A and B are shown apart, each in its own frame.
Chain A
Amino acid sequence: MTTVPLPYRVTAVSEETADCVSLEVTPVGRALPEFSPGRFAMVYAFGVGEVPISVSAIRDGHRLVHTVRAIGAVTGALCRLRAGDAVGLRGPYGIGWDLDAAAGSDVLVVAGGIGLAPLRPVVRHVLNHPGHYGRLHVLIGARTPADLLFGGELEHWRRASAQVEVTVDRPGPGWCGSVGVVTTLLDRADWRPARTTALICGPEVMIRHTARALLARGLPAHRLQVSLERNMRCGTGHCGHCQLGPLLLCRDGPVVGYDRTRSLLAVREL
């Protein structure tokens, strides 16, 4: 693992929503070690700064896709990149989704907002390994229909046997789907708590409430993995910005078992 950014070239840009883009990047020379779903890279917009971004797709080993939402100077600069532009990447960092732990069980993916991005490789992985996992449920919450990520891909997932449910907070004209928070989908999906491994990514408050709702329906805490977001800077567990109690999330996360974080998430000062 290198702590010096390696040069990558943007090879494709997809505008996902009004403020989100997916950047496909390819190494200019030496490539970073292979990423796995849930791990992240520190992505450097030259002259502006760097931010931690999870992989939303891994293509041919070394071509990576990062889905970025423009919320600040660095992410704004990344969202303005075009094919051919250069970025710096270091990583892979953190611990990804433990998909081995989910083998043989049903998989329930719960995503809020841009939290769907780090879960997309999980969905693809499960769909690409039929027989290795049980049923796949994907529950997605978005602010509005226009904020829904990977809209064109969801139908592919459905056709490939995933049960995909989407709900939005604010429906617009023409929206005929569900309205409400993502937890409301838990009672409608035909999932089996005793046979399921659940993976959640989204805003921390959404994770907390979704986790509680899953446990209340009988999912054991050790079958629940969550991807936590804190202010990551160094990516190597040295700066301490991403500390959550005894965990440094850039090193010990972002994916952590809920049995380890349940009590930590209930502490207001952490």
Chain B
Amino acid sequence: MTGWPLLLESLPRVQRDRLFTLADERDFSAGSTLFDEGGIADRFWLIRSGEVALDVYVPGRRAQVVETLGPRQQLGWSWIFPPYRWHLGARALGAVRTWEFPAAEVRELCMADTELGYELMLRCAALIADRLQATRLRLLDLYTPHGSVPS
């Protein structure tokens, strides 16, 4: 583990630097909203510190947290595919430090530098696959009591 955000781990330095020319440091205070479900996904973040809760709006109830993201993790992948709308909402659970990337410019960079674009998309696809798998595992309700087993 390098301490780099997972999206950038083992990415050649030249490509990492190229991507970072587009990044801004951006901090969020506790409780602030990073984006709302259905909003335009025009950026994404790599979390440097702090925790972000992803939630789903349920009518008549408060937003339900479905996952939290923390340091080294990528916040947001809806910016990759049209119609570029957030699937979930995101709130800062405490003070959160990030690198913020503008989606359109990153997509343009990926088109211009297809080698970097390919690497980046592979990593984003792996991230999406991980989250899909985690969601499926949770659907199993893993920790429900079952069977006669040593506890």
Contacts and interface: CB of A to CB of B under 8 A. Distances in A.
| A and B from one complex | yes
Interface of A: 19, 40, 51-54, 66-72, 74-75, 94, 112-114, 117-118, 141-143, 147, 167, 169, 171, 173, 175-181, 183-184, 187-188, 190-193, 202-203, 205-206, 209, 217, 227, 229-232, 254
A201 B137 CA distance: 16
A112 B150 CA distance: 13
Given A54-B150, A71-B145, A188 B1 contact: no
Nearest to B51: A178
Given A184-B67, A188-B70, A193-B1, A205 B142 contact: yes
B13 interface: no
Interface string B129-148: 00001100110111111111
CB-CB nearest 10 A-B residue pairs: A113-B143, A229-B149, A71-B145, A52-B150, A143-B143, A188-B70, A180-B67, A178-B68, A40-B150, A114-B151
Contact of B151 (A54, A142, A167, A180): A54
Given A184-B134, A202-B142, 10 more contacts: A52-B148, A75-B148, A141-B142, A178-B51, A179-B65, A188-B70, A205-B140, A209-B137, A217-B1, A229-B149
Contacts of A114: 143, 145, 151
Contact of A52 (B53, B71, B149): B149
A179 B67 contact: yes
Nearest to A20: B151
Given A53-B150, A180-B134, A254-B150, A19 B1 contact: no
B73 interface: yes
B143 A112 contact: yes
Counting chain B residues whose Cβ lies within 8 A of the other chain, the interface size class is 20 to 34
B151 A178 contact: no
Given A52-B149, A54-B151, A171-B65, A178 B138 contact: no
B6 A179 contact: no
B134 A188 contact: no
A61 B51 CA distance: 42
B72 A141 contact: no
Interface string B1-29: 10100100000000000000000000000
Nearest to B64: A171
